[in-house]
Amino acid sequence: MTLTFSLETTNVELINNLFIYFLVVAAIIFFLVVFYIFYYLYKYNSEKRPDLPEQREGSVKVEIFLTSLATTITAVFVYLTISTMGKVQNIPENPEPFLQITGHQWWWEAKYPNSGVTTANQIHIPVGKKVLLQLNSADVIHSWWVPELGRKMDMIPGNTNYMWLYADKEGEYLGTCSEFCGQAHARMRIRVTAQNPKDFEAWQTQQLKPVATSENSNFIEGKRLFEQKTCTNCHAINGTPYQANIGPNLTHFASRKRFLADMKINNKENLKEWLEDPQKVKSGAHMPNFIFSKKELNALVTYIHNLK
Amino acid sequence: MSLYIKMPEENEPLPSLKRARGKLLWISSVDHKQLGIMYLWLALFFFIIGGLQAMIIRAQLSWPENHLVSPEMYSQIFTMHGTTMIFLVLMPALIGLGTYLIPLMIGANDMAFPRLNAFSFWMTCMGGVLLYFSFLAGGGPKAGWFNYPPLSEMNYTSTAGVDYYLVGLILTGIGSIGAALNFVTTVLCMRSPEMKLNMLPLFVWMMFVNAFLMLAAFPLLNSGLFLNLLDRQFDAHFFIPSSGGSALLWQHFFWAFGHPEVYILALPAFGIISEVIPVFSRRPIFGYKFVAASTVAIALLSYSVWAHHMFTVGLSNAVNSFFAISSMLIGIPTGLKVINWIGTMYKGSIRLTIPMFFAIAFLIDFTLGGLSGISFAIVPIDWQLTDTYYLVAHIHYVFLGGSLFGIFAGIYYWFPKISGRKLSKRLGKWHFWLFVIGFNLTFFLQHILGMIGMPRRIYTYPDLPYWKVLNLFSSIGAFFMFTGMAVFFWNIYTTLKKPRTVTSNPWNAWTLEWAVPSPPNLKNFVEIPPVHSRRPLWDLDHPDKPDKRLN
Amino acid sequence: MLLLIASEAFFFMALIIAYVYYRNFTNATDTVAKNLDVVKTGIFTLFLIASSFTLIFSKKALLNEKYVLYKILMATTILFGIVFIIGQVNEYMGLYKKQITLSQDIFGSSFFTLTGFHGLHVILGIIALSILFGISFGKLKIVSISAIQGVDIYWHFVDVVWLFVFYFVYINPLL
């Protein structure tokens, strides 16, 4: 990371600053309202002033003064809103996205058009670089929100939206789908891994490797089952004829740290549990229950877990 | 009472005056008082259901990875909670108070169209019944109270719940249009001949403006609902993007209704507060003209703010700027009202009754809700916080802190008029403190939950830092509110068992409804006080210093 | 009555906006417009407009207590309304023969919804007019004068809505 980047205000910081200005003004207004209410309640209580008060009808001067004061404050915030909006959401005319995310019920498909990487749920970005994100939906409306990396943007079927994503520190950033998208909406969380550019390149290279093979008999049996049991109707494996895009692409599944949209840690036990009864793990998920035998299950888990 | 004037005999008596009262005749009643009371009972009944749903929601969210209800059930419960509270609790409660009080406050013997009045009530009632029938027909609606397609389309929600939602809301919508027609005509044609439009009590004025809002807003909702119904039942393509429709169009329709709807629920509450605060401060409202004019400003502006619900759908910056400006502008007349209410208390002689308690809670909590509303008009903040618990907190501060506290103030204020008995002050205080403390505990914390990243409508959440403790306290607050409501119902129950003792004007108020006995006779006014100012009863009581004559 | 009309106007406004929105803001091509017969529908439109005028004259006749003229004009109004509906039915049949239905595509959906709701209103209007017509054979009461004023406004409103629909659905695509 170079020095120039840390001097620049990020989008998230811009929004946070605006929110702080708002909070300060709102707090002052709120304090004044509460103060006057309680002060009047105390001072003009009927126990203290049992006499009939003067029947005054109000004052035009006060009204005009306060209205113009409110209008002035509003004008300031209108200015701040419009200028911040222009800075945060300045999308070039012919956007060339670095990353394309498509929301599915209930997982995230991620594509990197420059390198050709396709993955699901395990999303990586380089640190210190503003990346342009393209958002689409394959079914219902979803909404992409990783609070520390940028704004929130809806994914609307039939529309394409763009936004900037920026991470200034390495690490994992949590987010979530924030438009109700059906039964497993709560289970549609996001984890973005921000890496230094070198690590990011290494990750991309690894993701572009051809699909793993092995001479292990369990692996071969698992591969056969994967094709025979119609897994391939929904899941794609690069370098094979199976290119369906209904469920996540599994070519490098084993390289992912978590699966089911950040719900479970990716290990053999969790995978087995998932394949045994998807509804029990993630209620509502579109994955059918195949009712595998123990042996089949082992073979499939071995196969999928070797797809590094 | 020789100061009163005899009402002129009508050529053709209103249909409501042809019948005697009786328990069974309630269902065939066309009397505005009986219908108003039935509206209130309807609201109370659905409030219990909606409240229990809210308790289930809070119980489910008390701690992470809780499995009290299934995710499918949870979707139905939060959808029905929102739909019930808005369309079957707040709407009927406010329309009910309006139906009961408008004729009394303007010196009329009934609404302009008594039969339409009954029709409106039964439409609303049937709409509610249909909505809940869905649970017997394979599951309630589960696409959220604003029912966004394509999730609400057949492909993604195949149970009949959404169909019941659509038909139910069309019916309540027709009911509301009918009620609004009736309000406008009643205010225009049935006023006591001496009462000019600038002498209307503020509650009536706000219901009057509100009725215009309803007349324009509900048809938009109904057409959207019809289109969605055609999609689901006749394979049309309006909101299905994969076959040429547009998912965004529904959002435009829904919010072009939905935002005025927020003011439809808020304006009558403003009206109640504008009656209660002056009476218990014993001063006329500060700046009547400004309060009345700001109501009209709000009504007009409320039609140009709907897209602030859609700042994250990817509209252009120019469009967003327009809606940001109009949304911030609407804060000005609303803020002006708060200032006028506080100004009314200035140099008054404030009586701390239960209606006044709720009016004060309204002032404070509605101000908070209004301010958090401004943060959604500031587009970049909206980009971070919309659809989080910060938004959930905001809507509850507006609907509970605003509308519901207004309704509570109204019920405590007018209960003596409606039933002839005063609600117990001791129980009222219990209700007030339990409910208000619980409310602020529950929903204030949700602001923070939203800021740290909790989205709305999730049935459970991972154990992230602070999420657990904030959610737990939020649920504890809900329990306080629940207890408070139990006290309220107990208060109503015990009070209704007592004999009628209340005189016609127990609060020393000034508007015409307090000139008739409590409860009023079937024919409201046999004779009517002369009306020369906004406070006719004040002029009668203080002949030495009457208000300025306005006619 | 005027308020109800205003409210209805918002309903139709929403439907027309939907149609225009689909035409101008989506990429789909309008499949319905090119299959519509503008001239034929134009003639039926003239019938509907004419019915508005006959209704105005019949109201005048009633106020001048020329009851026979009133009845004749009223009958003509109803007749014109029915002719218009027949025209609509004819149009629908033609479209069905070309396999254009509500569920075919987005323009099918919006065309049939918009014109269907309008047709429904015309039919309601015809029923209301027929009731008035029927009453006129009994004793004419004061009530029916205020009733005829209500129906009068309603009928003109339905007419005006059709002019908008006709413009947006039939004429605009040709421009």
d(CA A8, CA B528): 73
Q: Which of B184, B216, B238 sits opposite C109 (nearest CB)?
A: B238
pLDDT in the model for residue B523: 85
Judge whether B301 lies within some domain.
Answer: yes
Instruction: Decide: residue A104, CB within 10 A, 0-12 exposed, 13-18 middle, 19+ buried.
Output: buried
Strongest mean pLDDT among A280-289, B364-373, C71-80, C165-174: B364-373
Judge whether B500 lies within some domain.
Answer: yes
CB-CB contact of C61 with C73 (8 Å): yes
- Contacting chains of A (3 CB pairs or more, <8 Å) are B
Q: Is A181 on the interface with B (CB under 8 A)?
A: yes
Judge whether C140 lies within some domain.
Answer: yes
Instruction: Work out the minimum CA distance from B420 to partner chain A, whole angstroms.
Output: 25
More confident residue, C2 or B260: B260
d(CA A301, CA B11): 88
Q: Which amino acid is at C158?
A: V
pLDDT in the model for residue C2: 61
pLDDT in the model for residue C65: 75
Cis bond upstream, residue B201 (ω within 30): no
CB-CB contact of B185 with B112 (8 Å): yes
**What is the extent of the structural domain holding B382?**
29-541
Q: Is A114 on the interface with B (CB under 8 A)?
A: no
The answer to whether the CB atoms of B244 and C7 lie below 8 A apart is no
Strand order in the sheet with A131-137: A117-120, A107-112, A99-104, A131-137, A161-165
> Which chain C residue shows the shortest CA-CA distance from B113?
C1
Judge whether B312 lies within some domain.
Answer: yes
d(CA B160, CA B138): 6
The answer to whether the CB atoms of B324 and A37 lie below 8 A apart is no
Q: Please count the structural domains in chain B.
A: 1
Question: In chain A, helix, strand, coil percent, each to 5?
Answer: 40, 20, 40
The answer to whether the CB atoms of B236 and C103 lie below 8 A apart is yes
Least confident of B133-147, B193-207, B441-455, C5-19: C5-19
**What is the extent of the structural domain holding C101?**
2-15+34-174
More confident residue, B118 or A9: B118
Q: Which residues of C touch B220 (CB under 8 A)?
A: 10-11, 14
Q: Which residues of A touch B283 (CB under 8 A)?
A: 53-56
Judge whether B109 lies within some domain.
Answer: yes
pLDDT digits (tens, 9 = 90+) for C28-61: 556 666 667 777 888 888 888 888 888 888 888 8
Which of C106, C107, C142 best probes binding to B when mutated, by most B CB atoms within 10 angstroms? Answer: C106
More confident residue, C137 or C10: C137
| In chain A, alpha helices (H) | 3-7, 11-43, 60-88, 197-208, 217-228, 268-276, 278-281, 294-305
Q: Out of 2.60.40.420, 2.40.50.140, 3.40.50.920, 3.40.50.2300, select the CATH number for domain A99-208.
A: 2.60.40.420
Residue A249, by phi and psi: left (phi above 0), alpha (psi -120 to 50) or beta?
A: beta
Q: Which residues of A touch B377 (CB under 8 A)?
A: 81
* Mean pLDDT, residues A215-232: 90
CA angle, residues B394, B396, B398, in degrees to nearest 5? 70
More confident residue, C149 or A119: A119
Judge whether C26 lies within some domain.
Answer: no
Judge whether B15 lies within some domain.
Answer: no
- What per-residue string of b and e applies to B467-482 under the rule 16 or more CB within 10 Å gives b? beebbbebbebbbbbb
Give chain B's mean pLDDT. Answer: 91
d(CA B228, CA A30): 42
Q: Topology of A217-305 in CATH?
A: Immunoglobulin-like (2.60.40)
Reported as a pLDDT band with limits 50, 70 and 90, residue A132 is very high
Handedness of CA C157, C161, C163, C164 (dihedral sign): positive
pLDDT digits (tens, 9 = 90+) for B30-77: 889 999 999 999 999 999 999 999 999 999 999 999 989 999 999 999
Reported as a pLDDT band with limits 50, 70 and 90, residue C148 is confident
d(CA A224, CA C122): 66
Q: Is B5 on the interface with A (CB under 8 A)?
A: no
Residue A5, pLDDT > 70, answer: no
Consecutive H or E run containing B5: strand B5-6
Residue B35, domain CATH: 1.20.210.10
Q: Is A63 on the interface with B (CB under 8 A)?
A: yes
- Contacting chains of B (3 CB pairs or more, <8 Å) are A, C
pLDDT digits (tens, 9 = 90+) for A68-84: 999 999 999 999 999 99
Cis bond upstream, residue B306 (ω within 30): no
The answer to whether the CB atoms of C21 and B215 lie below 8 A apart is no
- For chain B, percent of residues with pLDDT exceeding 90: 71
Least confident of A60-74, B106-120, B129-143, C7-21: C7-21
Q: What is the ipTM of this complex?
A: 0.92
Strand order in the sheet with A152-155: A122-126, A189-195, A171-177, A142-145, A152-155
Judge whether C105 lies within some domain.
Answer: yes
Q: Please count the structural domains in chain C.
A: 1
d(CA B22, CA B31): 12
Q: Is B144 on the interface with A (CB under 8 A)?
A: yes
For residue B272, which of B30, B94, B136 has the smallest C-alpha distance? B94
